[in-house]
């Protein structure tokens, strides 16, 4: 009976770990399966996974610390932008508006240079008629 109880406890701990993994991958899994966050399985699973999790966090932190300053800035901006859906939508709108602004400025610049060139051609033709028959 004790062996069965220990086996069931271990199975439940493994199932809790699988559910946490699925929740970290897909947000829809979080709403599909409700788990007891304050239960004993969470504590057992965290104790079981703690050395690996700690090692992964330390390695990730070590890699981030070794990055050049411009890569660290890019990483922090990317984490902030891609953290949630509203930030991603805002960033997308910003990029669209920025590109439209650049295209409008380039179009206006090209149009004004064409019209000023036309003025120069007219002035040159007028000059040639007046001074150089």
Using CA atoms, how far residue 55 sits from 16, 49, 79, 91, 130, in Å, is: 21, 10, 21, 33, 86
Q: Where are the domains of the chain?
A: 1-66
Q: What's the pLDDT at 90?
A: 94
Average pLDDT on 3-30 reads 76
**Region 42-61 average pLDDT:** 76
The pLDDT tens digits of the residues spanning 77-122 come to: 998 888 889 999 999 999 999 999 999 999 988 877 766 666 777 7
Tokens of 72: 């660290």
Between 40 and 61, where is the model more confident? 61
In whole angstroms, give the CA distance from residue 75 to residue 68: 11
Q: What pLDDT sits at residue 32?
A: 52
Nearest of 99, 67, 101 to residue 78 by alpha carbon: 67
Average pLDDT over the chain, rounded to an integer = 81
Structure tokens at 9: 């406890």
Range list of β-strands (E), the chain: none
% of the chain beyond a pLDDT of 70:
79
Token readout for 16 is 């809790």
pTM: 0.44
């Amino acid at each position: 009976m004790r062996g069965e109880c220990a086996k069931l406890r271990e199975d439940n701990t493994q199932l809790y770990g699988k559910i946490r993994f699925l929740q970290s991958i897909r947000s829809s899994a979080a709403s599909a399966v409700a788990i007891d966050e304050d239960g004993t399985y969470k504590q057992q699973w965290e104790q079981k996974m703690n050395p690996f999790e700690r090692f992964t966090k330390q390695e990730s932190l070590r890699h981030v610390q070794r990055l050049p300053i411009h890569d660290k800035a890019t990483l922090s901006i990317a984490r902030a932008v891609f953290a949630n859906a509203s930030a991603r939508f805002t960033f997308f709108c910003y990029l669209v508006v920025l590109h439209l602004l650049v295209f409008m400025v380039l179009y206006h610049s090209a149009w004004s240079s064409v019209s000023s060139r036309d003025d120069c051609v007219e002035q040159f033709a007028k000059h040639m008629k007046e001074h150089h028959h």
